[in-house]
């Protein structure tokens, strides 16, 4: 269900044409810059850069997810708590310090999530898997089992839609189960207990269901006579990839130095 929000949007653009590993590394660098230097300047810069790239990537605004109401109310409650604390700066005699700190923390989270979205919307899962595998490939010189890990990554890409399907069926099924009545206060606990035990049953069903899929995949590997995924095709490094990385790394360095 919700994972659909992070699906890739097939619009050709300079951002989409970037190599997956360039985008991945850039995002890691940018996240580090934000996490180590969460000042308004840095957050603002990341946000402006994000919006610019959103335009360059020709992404429609409709893909932005709507936050669940539960989350909105929770954030509002936190904001009230924080603003009551007061503190500098004072505007019209009201201390806004607490609120500002709070808003900064929340905006930081949202900007990070937005950048994650940028990566997901402009990169297919298949590309991302291939990018990750190209990235880890050089580590084989250190004696790490990169071929094995590469195969796990390749099958994970394949497994994601299968897992989503199992989760969907089990969620549907669990939702349609009749629950004991909740009208009596005495039975509130029983209903809670029932819900809890149903959740565990559902978890078992998902794990069992996905493990069946895993058997299919294992069999399929054996039928192909190989347990190692073919290497992803090498890709040329282009100017745009280098530029993207340079900007992101520069930001990180700046954030550390200043």
Partner 1 sequence: MTKRLVDETDGPLDASELADAAIAAALVFSLLAIGRLLAAGLFFQILGTVVFAVLAARHRTRTVVLSVTATALFTVLLGGTGPITQSIIAGLFGWTGGVSLARNRSIPRTVGLALLVGWPPVALATVAFFSVATELRALAFENVENQWNGLSRVFEPLGFPGVRDAGADFISGQLDWWMIAVPVAQLFVSAAYALLVRRLGRRVLRGVNDALGPVVPLSLQEPETGTSFEGGAPLPLSLDDVAIERQGYVVNSGVTVSVSPADNVAIAGRNGAGKSTLLDVLAGLIPNSGVVRNGAPRLGLTGGTSYVSQRPEGQVLAPTVAEDIRWGAAADVDVADALGSVGLVGFDDRLTSELSGGELQRLALAAALARKPSLLLADEITSMLDPEGREQINQLLTDINDRGVAVVRTSHLAGDLAEADRVVTIGRPQELVENELLNTIYVGRPVLTLTDVSYTYDGGKPWARTVLTDIDLTIRSGELVLVTGSNGSGKSTFARVLAGLRKPTEGTVEKEPGTSVAIAFQHARLQLLRPLVDSELRSLAGAHSMDEKGRARLERLPRAVGSLGLGDLLDARVDSLSGGQQRRVLLAGLLARGASVIVLDEPLAGLDDEGRLQLAEVVDDLRRQGTAVVVVSHDASWGHDRVTRVLRLDKGRLSTERSDA
Residue with the two structure tokens 């097939």:
10
Among 13, 24, 107, 240, binds partner 1 (CB under 8 A): 24
Size of residue set near partner 1 by CB under 8 A: 127
Are the C-beta atoms of 162 and 213 separated by less than 8 Å?
yes
Among 154, 245, 248, 251, binds partner 1 (CB under 8 A): 154
Site for partner 1 in 189-228 (CB under 8 A): 190, 198, 200-228
Site for partner 1 in 66-125 (CB under 8 A): 67-68, 70-71, 74, 78, 80-87, 97-98, 101-102, 104-105, 109, 112-117, 119-120, 124-125
Site for partner 1 in 37-66 (CB under 8 A): 37-39, 60, 62-63, 65
Closest CB to partner 1 among residues 24, 240: 24
Among 136, 235, 240, 247, binds partner 1 (CB under 8 A): 136
Closest CB to partner 1 among residues 89, 225: 225
Q: Does 252 bind partner 1 (CB under 8 A)?
A: no
Closest CB to partner 1 among residues 239, 257: 257
If 0-12 CB within 10 Å is exposed, 13-18 middle and 19+ buried, where does residue 92 land?
exposed
Closest CB to partner 1 among residues 227, 246: 227
Closest CB to partner 1 among residues 215, 239: 215
Closest CB to partner 1 among residues 14, 109: 109
Separation between Cα atoms, residue 160 and residue 150, nearest integer Å: 16
Q: Does 238 bind partner 1 (CB under 8 A)?
A: no
Residue with the two structure tokens 């991302």:
128
Among 31, 50, 240, 247, binds partner 1 (CB under 8 A): 31
Site string for partner 1, 155-194 (x = CB under 8 A): xxxxxxxxxx-xx-xx-xxxxxxxxxx-----x--x----
Closest CB to partner 1 among residues 187, 247: 187
Residue 168 has φ and ψ, to the nearest 5°, of: -65, -50
């Amino acid at each position: 269900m919700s994972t659909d929000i992070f699906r890739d949007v097939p619009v050709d653009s300079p951002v989409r044409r970037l190599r997956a590993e360039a985008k991945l590394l850039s995002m890691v660098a940018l996240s580090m810059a934000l996490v180590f230097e969460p000042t308004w300047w840095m957050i603002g810069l990341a946000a402006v850069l994000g919006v610019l790239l959103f335009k360059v990537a020709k992404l429609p605004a409709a893909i932005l997810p709507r936050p669940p109401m539960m989350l909105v109310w929770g954030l509002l409650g936190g904001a009230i708590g924080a603003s009551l604390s007061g503190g500098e700066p004072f505007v019209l005699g009201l201390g806004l310090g607490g609120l500002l700190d709070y808003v900064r923390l929340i905006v930081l989270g949202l900007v990070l999530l937005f950048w994650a979205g940028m990566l997901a919307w402009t990169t297919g899962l298949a590309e991302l898997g291939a990018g990750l595998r190209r990235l880890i490939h050089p580590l084989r010189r250190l004696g790490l089992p990169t071929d094995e890990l590469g195969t796990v990554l390749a099958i994970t890409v394949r497994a994601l839609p299968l897992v989503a399907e199992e989760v969907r069926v089990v969620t549907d099924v669990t939702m349609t189960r009749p629950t004991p009545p909740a009208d009596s206060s005495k039975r509130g606990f029983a209903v809670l207990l029932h819900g809890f035990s149903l959740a565990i049953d559902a978890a078992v069903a998902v794990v069992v269901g996905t493990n069946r899929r895993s058997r299919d995949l294992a069999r399929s590997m054996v039928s192909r006579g190989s347990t190692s995924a073919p290497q992803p095709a090498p890709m040329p490094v282009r100017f745009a990839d280098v530029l993207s990385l340079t900007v992101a790394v520069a930001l990180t360095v700046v954030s550390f130095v200043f």
